[in-house]
A = this chain, B = another copy of it.
Amino acid sequence: MPERRDLFEANPDDTREAIMKATYDALSRHGYADLTIQRIGDEFDKSKSLLYHHYDSKDALLVDFLSFMLERMEGTIPLEQADAADERLRIGFDHVISEIIDGDRQDFNRAMTELRAQSAHDDAFCEQFSKNDRYFEQRVRVILEAGIDQGLFHDVDTEQVASMLVTIIQGATFQATTSTEPDLEAVRAELDAYIESRLLVDDA
């Protein structure tokens, strides 16, 4: 049971953080399509007009929110908790998948999926997500390369394998947020089998 650093404190002191939390709550409760300034205001202990004091528009607020969240989420990825590449890969995926599964985050995860789906029509969103994707894929590649150097992994095309791993994670996220009966346990198990059969050098 890894300790959970919560995304927000119960009642944040500074206003921006309070707005972010209100947005988080409203987004979780209503989803992106039904997210209105009114509803953000409802989750906020100050008035909704105040939001316009801090942001030029609803869109500006959401863009800031997205960048805030992605940054914070990158920050929670466990770093350097092991030397061996296979261990690092395992720890990383455990973390990511536990976030996908976490019941308390369901609604929010769904909202993030909506946001991302929306990003085709919003350049600012798009840019945020692209940055996040590159970061994540890069992290995976570094681990893969280390694994190959360490003689733990076969000498695979790291770009290709990293693409696949990212695709699997995104597929799992998408399913978890949009499917009624996602079988994430099965995916997790098969992910291990994939790594085993495709990456791991076995010297038993």
Oligomer: number of copies: 2
User: Which residues does chain B contribute within 8 Å of A116, judged by CB atoms?
Assistant: 117, 174, 178
Whether B175 contacts A170 by the Cβ 8 Å rule is yes
User: Which residues does chain B contribute within 8 Å of A175, judged by CB atoms?
Assistant: 166-167, 170
A110 sits at the interface (CB 8 A): yes
Q: How large is the interface on A (under 10, 10 to 19, 20 to 34, 35 or more residues)?
A: 35 or more
> Which parts of A158-183 form the interface with B (CB within 8 Å)?
159-161, 163-164, 166-172, 174-175, 177-181, 183
A67 sits at the interface (CB 8 A): no
Q: Shortest distance in angstroms between A166's beta carbon and chain B's nearest beta carbon?
A: 8
Binary contact readout A125-144 vs B (1 if CB under 8 angstroms, 0 otherwise): 01001100100000000000
